[in-house]
Structure formats: structure tokens, C-alpha cells
Structure 1
């Protein structure tokens, strides 16, 4: 079955979708994106993703070609047309395609933004067997640009980090800057010490995760303590548990860091419980 995708106002078969070679996302990585999960045919945390999208666009002085209401309708239409029960909706907005390549921003009055959306079918997204065994991570130097709070399409180094992890026989990498963990290659990172969830505080250094915000709220509601502070890989190795969060993995236990087991080397009770709570509450609030 050929997917239906959305390009600049049109719903098209994926085989007919085209974007100009002069699009600035292609030439300059001048674009932002969001990924929204779908469970039971409904969108998870959509308001948070829409709000972060607005912030990313504003930080880059890039116009938004659609309203939040229009964006919701496009998401729902793509989910319906592609029959997605569990999966993802990818959204990308770029500064558009001027007549030629230039470092200077084009005039938004004459160069409209490019907007593209497509779905990914992921059966078993919630009941992931990976979550039952946990993942292994390695640590790498964080060599990204300084505005990681903007969700841009500049993903080369995170992709390199994924490949470093794969080469080392691990699943992902935690990035380290000035001796402290920033985040994973495509996720926020946490450790658990007793009844306390520890994660890096929000700043320009990390992405302001939508799943992160929900999970920390659920943790506090479940009488867990939350500390937003820096921590090192050495401290993480001595933690009782560790986990990551993202729109596509929800809450995923981490059982090994740089070859050293975390806690008992199996998914811990706090991470397991937070995953259960997140999935249950997110399904209730899905749109």
C-alpha cells in the first residue's frame, strides 16, 4: 500500500511527492520538525508538540504556514487515510525554496515555507519487547551546536552517535559536555536514586521534551521526587535505575552504560511504573 503524504497543501501518494532541490532544509538544514505518536488511532501529546513547534519557528524567525487547528486536521487526515493504529506522524517545516542557493534568508513574502507530513506505521509501539529487556547506552562527547532546545533538522551528529553505539554493540549514546550528561541522541536521559528521578534542567543545552514534561508530572503525582540537575556518567553508573523518554519510545529503561550494568542490569520498578502510567494517561488524553 502506498502511503498518502502531505506536501504544501496537497495530499499525495508518496511516489508523487516532490520538494525543490533549492529547499533550504536540503541545502542549509534550515528547518524544524516534530514527531507525534499515534496510539489507538489517536494523537499523543499533540498540544505539546504544536506548542513546541511554534517556539522552534519563532526562535528561527520562520513563519508558520498553518494554524494549530489546521495542523491537527492534517494529522488526523493522514492517520485516517493511512489506517494508522500505532505509529508516528512526522512533520517538517522549512524556510522554503528560493530561486537559488544563498546564505541570507529569503524574503518570506516571496518564498513561502515548505510543509511536509508523513506517517510511519509501527504496530506494537506501546507493547515494545525492547522495553521488557531495556537498552544499552555508551557515552560520547556532545559536539552539537549550542541551540539544542530548537528542534531543527540538523541531526548529523546524533545520527553519528547512533552509529557509534551500534558499532559498540549498544542501542544508543548519551552525550556528555563538560563532564555532565546532556541527553541521548534522540531522547532525554534520566537516572533514579532511591525514590528520586534525576534529569538535566531545561536550558539551551537540551531539547525541551514533550514526553519529558509529561513523565516528570506523572512522577510527582505518583509521589516520586524529581531533581533537575547535572549528573555525570560516573554517577549514572552507580544509580539504581536509568531510562530515557521520547515521543517514539515513551519511557524506555536503560540497563547498561559503557558496559557497566545499571542497578541489577534489568529494567527497574520506577521506569516500568512510569511507562505504565504514561501510556495509560496519554491514551486517556489522546485526540
Structure 2
């Protein structure tokens, strides 16, 4: 039986109303952020790059040595259906579980806590490129730990920096560590110069976003040159275009940085082309067309 209720969540094998979901106060996800997560967009009830998200989840679980196995595809598909299908963002979190008391040490006897919920999202490509509102961003220090390749729930530095951006009237912050650009608080970064896409290379200090990988795949298929390189903050001053990307926002044009327009302050031609490629990819996925 499927419930048309946006408040149905999944917790440890059960689908139940959110206000009935309970975890222990000694859960290590609550006490220590000893947990990992994924955010997976579903468009028209279909997971967008679902396997890539689950592969990254498996990577994060291995990295923090949490042993958790489940029929993720079945669980998430059913959760989406129980919440009415359509366009939903699925949040999936796995913590190491609870020892029944607060302790820094752990062992493999703990039962992981498996939790998932949904929230509505717009089909970001439905309205077309004209309706996409560009981003204003700031550049600031990267306060995060060194293992940003692990999608951990320890997001307090991200939250503080994003709030700094919001208070400055911006939508996102671009982070700098050891003199190099890394990424946004919840997005990957791209620069365009003379028709070439540049993006910070993969390392333990950035999260290898699934949308980042898709953008590079689409660029390769379309013959658009790209390079994964170290990028210094000054290079933003000379960029023809700047983009950020994430699973739920797709690829977004950055119109200004620290209040200064990027190039002419308009959505650039290569972003327009990438948006079209992304739209086509999504349409094929949703319709099953080759």
C-alpha cells in the first residue's frame, strides 16, 4: 500500500510518519556526526544517476568503516512512491549506531542506523535556461576537515560559511585552502577561459560530485575541452564564465563574485550549451529515449 504523504520516512526497516520516527540519544550520528549521507534527486520518480550516488555512499562507508548493507534501490524507490513520486530529493543517512552510552570507541557489534526522508524539488530544467537565476558568490577560507572526499554529516563548517555568504547577500561561497580553490559549501566549481572548462582536480580535499562527473562526461562527448587542475583564487578575476554544480541544482552560472561581475555579468554561452546538453541527458533518462 502506498501513502500519498510527504512525511513518510524510512528508519531501520520501517516506513512510518516522520513524527513517529525515533533514534537513541546515544546514536553516534547525533553525538559525533559519526555518519555519512547522500542526497539523490528523483525526477518523475526516477533516481538521477542513482548508481553513482550509491557507489559514492559505499566509498564513504568503507572510508569510515561502517558496515551497512541494504537493498538501497528498493528502499529509496518505495520511499519515493510512498511520498507521491514526482520530483523529490531523497536524503539517505547511515550512522554507526548506538552503544547505549556515550563513548569515543566503537566496535563492529553496533547496529548501524539507516534513515531516509524526502523533500520536494523543482525540475530544474523544465523552465529552460532563461528562467535559471544566476548565483552571486563570495570567496572565503575553507574551514573543513581534510577528508572532504568522505560525504560525512559533519557539516558545521559548511553551514557557518554558507551563513556568511547569505549575510553578504550571496547564494554560495567558494572555498580556498592552502592558496587553492576547492569547491563550494555544497557544490563543485568550474571556470571557463577561451572555450576551455577548468575544474579543481579530484583529491581528498574535495567531494567528487556526481554532477561534476556528468558535466565532464558531457563535455567529452560534445568535444568541449576541459582540464582538471589546481586553481588559484586570482584566476576567478580572468574567467570568462564561472559555474557551480550539485545534484539538486544541476549546473548553475555564477554572475558575480564578492560583488564584482564575472565577465559581463551575464549567463555565458558555454554555460548555455552545457545546460542544453544536461537537459537532453535528463530528458532521455526520464523518457527512456535513446
Q: Shared fold (TM-score greater than 0.5)?
A: yes
Q: Assess if the C-alpha contact under 8 Å between 1:44 and 1:283 holds in 2.
A: no
Counterpart for residue 54 of structure 2: 50
Counterpart for residue 154 of structure 2: 154
Counterparts of residues 1-287 of structure 1 (less than 5 Å): 1-66=5-70, 70-105=71-106, 107-109=107-109, 111-127=110-126, 132-285=132-285
Cα distance in 2, alignment partners of residues 82 and 264 from structure 1: 43
Cα distance in 2, alignment partners of residues 63 and 175 from structure 1: 32
Q: Out of 191-200 and 128-137, give the one that drifted further.
A: 128-137
Distance apart, 1:281 and its partner CA = 1.1
Structure 1 length normalisation: TM-score? Answer: 0.94
How large is the Cα RMSD of the aligned pairs? 1.6
Q: Assess if the C-alpha contact under 8 Å between 1:131 and 1:253 holds in 2.
A: no
Query: Which sections of structure 2, spanning at least 5 residues, go unmatched?
Result: none
Cα distance in 2, alignment partners of residues 143 and 187 from structure 1: 15
Cα distance in 2, alignment partners of residues 18 and 2 from structure 1: 18
Q: Out of 259-268 and 199-208, give the one that drifted further.
A: 259-268
Cα distance in 1, alignment partners of residues 9 and 196 from structure 2: 43
Which stretches of structure 1, 4 residues or more, deviate above 6 A after TM superposition?
Answer: 128-131
Cα distance in 2, alignment partners of residues 243 and 42 from structure 1: 26
Tell me the SS of whatever aligns to 1:231: coil
Cα distance in 1, alignment partners of residues 265 and 153 from structure 2: 34
Cα distance in 2, alignment partners of residues 189 and 123 from structure 1: 22
Cα distance in 1, alignment partners of residues 194 and 218 from structure 2: 17
Tell me the SS of whatever aligns to 1:133: coil
Cα distance in 2, alignment partners of residues 212 and 259 from structure 1: 25
Q: Assess if the C-alpha contact under 8 Å between 2:43 and 2:123 holds in 1.
A: no
**Change in 2 beyond 3 A, CA 1:65/1:131:** farther
Cα distance in 2, alignment partners of residues 94 and 84 from structure 1: 26
Tell me the SS of whatever aligns to 2:132: helix
**Change in 2 beyond 3 A, CA 1:138/1:82:** same
Q: Assess if the C-alpha contact under 8 Å between 2:6 and 2:119 holds in 1.
A: no
Query: Which sections of structure 1, spanning at least 5 residues, go unmatched?
Result: none
Distance apart, 1:155 and its partner CA = 0.5
Structure 2 length normalisation: TM-score? Answer: 0.93
**Change in 2 beyond 3 A, CA 1:190/1:2:** closer
Cα distance in 1, alignment partners of residues 9 and 116 from structure 2: 6
Cα distance in 2, alignment partners of residues 139 and 131 from structure 1: 25
Tell me the SS of whatever aligns to 1:190: strand
- Count the aligned residue pairs: 282
